[in-house]
Chain A
């Protein structure tokens, strides 16, 4: 039974399209995150939600909008996709409030987005 799942695993789309990536965790965690793995393989935080409330919003284009319908789900919607959005996006979750702090984070398998 997967702890943190993401769909789809691969997403190939054209510039200008709107797409969503879904994330679900069955660990009962309060906090969920979206990370982007950039071209240099860095993992960078994009957003963090705690109990459906946005608590971290990094400098991310406003074409990216997270939505948390409940604390087990955190979806990422991207409008007007650009070539530079091509990356692997990881969802994660942890107990507690904030950016993970004293609690380890559990990562999903990643979604490889390719914009052509």
Chain B
């Protein structure tokens, strides 16, 4: 993997569903993996910064895991709510932040 890639590109779920998406990154020269939440017409807001293989972080209903050996991170949202609708960006830090294109999540009531 040469770039930071995120999948799926977009996701539509019903309120109450749990969901997850993937960030894949080149695993050489890794320093940290960032997750950001980006609502429409706002600016990106940090969710997590993870550095260690096996790291798991949690903030409310949102959690993330990190596998630096195979170069991926998962973001999970438990019991999605309409206010979770946003684009979720991951970024790998090598000597600078390289962002993926994001996963656009829409949660329908």
Taking Cβ atoms with an 8 Å cutoff, the residues of A that contact B are: 4, 40-45, 48, 56, 58, 90, 98-110
Chain B's closest residue to A4 (CB) is: B43
Complex: A84 Cα to B43 Cα, angstroms: 22
Complex: A99 Cα to B92 Cα, angstroms: 10
* Residue from A4, A100, A103, A108 with most neighbouring chain B CB atoms (10 Å): A100
Contact mask B9-50 → A, CB, 8 Å, 1/0?
Answer: 000000000000000000000011010000000111110010
Q: How many A-B residue pairs have CB under 8 A?
A: 56
Across-interface contacts of A43 in B (CB, < 8 A): 44, 89, 91, 99
Contact mask B48-60 → A, CB, 8 Å, 1/0?
Answer: 0101000000000
Complex: A48 Cα to B93 Cα, angstroms: 14
Across the interface, B96 reaches (CB within 8 A) one of A41, A42, A99, namely A99
Whether the Cβ atoms of B49 and A109 lie closer than 8 Å is no
Whether the Cβ atoms of B43 and A104 lie closer than 8 Å is no
Across the interface, A42 reaches (CB within 8 A) one of B34, B42, B95, B99, namely B99
Across-interface contacts of B96 in A (CB, < 8 A): 45, 48, 56, 58, 99-100
Across-interface contacts of B45 in A (CB, < 8 A): 107
Taking Cβ atoms with an 8 Å cutoff, the residues of B that contact A are: 31-32, 34, 42-46, 49, 51, 89, 91, 93-99, 101-102
A90 to chain B, nearest CB (A): 7
Across-interface contacts of B51 in A (CB, < 8 A): 102
Whether the Cβ atoms of A107 and B93 lie closer than 8 Å is no
Across-interface contacts of B94 in A (CB, < 8 A): 99
Can you report 26 residue pairs joining A to B where beta carbons are below 8 Å apart?
A: A4-B43, A40-B101, A43-B91, A43-B99, A44-B99, A45-B97, A45-B98, A56-B96, A90-B43, A90-B44, A98-B95, A99-B93, A99-B94, A99-B97, A100-B93, A100-B96, A100-B97, A101-B93, A102-B32, A102-B51, A105-B44, A105-B97, A106-B46, A107-B44, A107-B45, A109-B42
Across-interface contacts of B31 in A (CB, < 8 A): 101-102
Asked whether A104 and B34 contact (CB < 8 A) given A43-B44, A90-B43, the answer is yes
